[in-house]
Amino acid sequence: MATSGNGACGVSAAASGAGSEAVVRVEGLRKSFGSNMVLRGIDLTVMPGQVVTIIGASGSGKSTLLRCINLLETPDAGHVWFRGKDLAAEHVDINALREKIGMVFQSFNLFNNMNVLDNCTLAPVTLKKTSRQEAEKVALANLDSVGLADFAGADVNTLSGGQKQRVAIARALCMKPDLMLFDEPTSALDPEISGEVLEVMRRLASQGMTMVVVTHEMAFARSVSDEVVFMDEGVIAEKGSPEKMFTDPEKPRTREFLARYL
């Protein structure tokens, strides 16, 4: 296995070997903010079509991990490979790779000065140079898939939270991502509204989308995940199948955390 001291050398032995089919491989990832060491050596592999959920207490580093995967944050040490490419390598086109990683945030982050359709076509037209006609066709198909075909012309400010989040998912899908990152996508929503967003995510998972989902929705994590990762103070304290994690976790910290939800 490569270690975090290898430097930025492109495709590593680890990433080019038998595991090269991984969508994301994280090794030895470390990140501090000042003296606050937030990620203390994270190793994680996400294979095509896998749904990995990340659970853990507030401040354990879940968002920072997601933000390092799409380079919204720059890691201090360690590596992130996306489809075999080291994101820290100098010759790698970060923007091109990032276009293949969709991100959905707790706070929607829609462009409030645009209607629903323009939210969905902006990135394909400006970043990928897709024709407007093609971008609109793709956008309408994705809006349809999240149940919002009739809202293409709507002002986003008039939508409910659940509708906004479904637009955010459709918008991310318009870039035809290889990986979707979700950071607590339902935390800002009322419980009865969360269901419609979780249903869209569930469908996406069943269609084979590779997903990393930070969530406190334990029923969702249990039913949709291939792997559940429990983060505690900047490390992966335990990971495993949903059955194991939710019925028979090994670590006292995992049990203690889950006891709050079960």
Exposure string of 82-121, with b = 16+ CB inside 10 Å and e = fewer, is bbbbbbbbeebeeeebbbebbbbbbebebeeeebbbbbbb
Using rule CB under 5 A, residue 186 touches Mg ion: no
Residue 177 exposure: Cα atoms within 13 Å on the Cβ side: 29
DSSP string, 102-140: EEE-TT----TTSBHHHHHHHHHHHTS---HHHHHHHHH
Provide, rounded to whole angstroms, the least separation between the CB of residue 25 and Mg ion.
22
Task: Tally Cβ neighbours within 10 Å of residue 122.
Answer: 16
Using rule CB under 6 A, residue 186 touches ligand ATP: no
The single residue among 63, 119, 121, 215 that binds Mg ion, judged by CB under 5 A, is 63
254 binds, among ligand ATP, Mg ion, none (CB under 5 to 8 A by kind): none
Site pattern 14..33 for ligand ATP (x: CB under 6 A) = -------------------x
Provide, rounded to whole angstroms, the least separation between the CB of residue 48 and ligand ATP.
25
Residue whose Cβ sits closest to Mg ion: 63
When the beta carbons of 33 and 111 are compared against ligand ATP, the nearer one is 33
Q: Are 142 and 173 in contact (CB under 8 A)?
A: yes
Cα separations in angstroms, 144 against 122, 136, 152, 211, 262? 18, 12, 9, 20, 35
* Binding segment toward ligand ATP, per CB under 6 A, in 61-69, 81-89, 199-207, 250-258: 61-69
Using rule CB under 6 A, residue 59 touches ligand ATP: yes
The single residue among 5, 7, 36, 259 that binds ligand ATP, judged by CB under 6 A, is 36
Provide, rounded to whole angstroms, the least separation between the CB of residue 178 and Mg ion.
23
36 binds, among ligand ATP, Mg ion, none (CB under 5 to 8 A by kind): ligand ATP
Q: Are 88 and 79 in contact (CB under 8 A)?
A: yes
Token pair, residue 37, equals 């060491």
Provide, rounded to whole angstroms, the least separation between the CB of residue 36 and ligand ATP.
6
What's the distance, CA 131 to chain centroid?
27
Q: Give the type of residue at 117.
A: L
Label the pairing between strands 101-104 and 179-183.
parallel
Using rule CB under 6 A, residue 53 touches ligand ATP: no
When the beta carbons of 57 and 154 are compared against Mg ion, the nearer one is 57
Using rule CB under 6 A, residue 261 touches ligand ATP: no
3-state secondary structure of 101: strand
Using rule CB under 6 A, residue 225 touches ligand ATP: no
The contact set with ligand ATP (CB under 6 A) reads 33, 36, 38, 56, 58-64
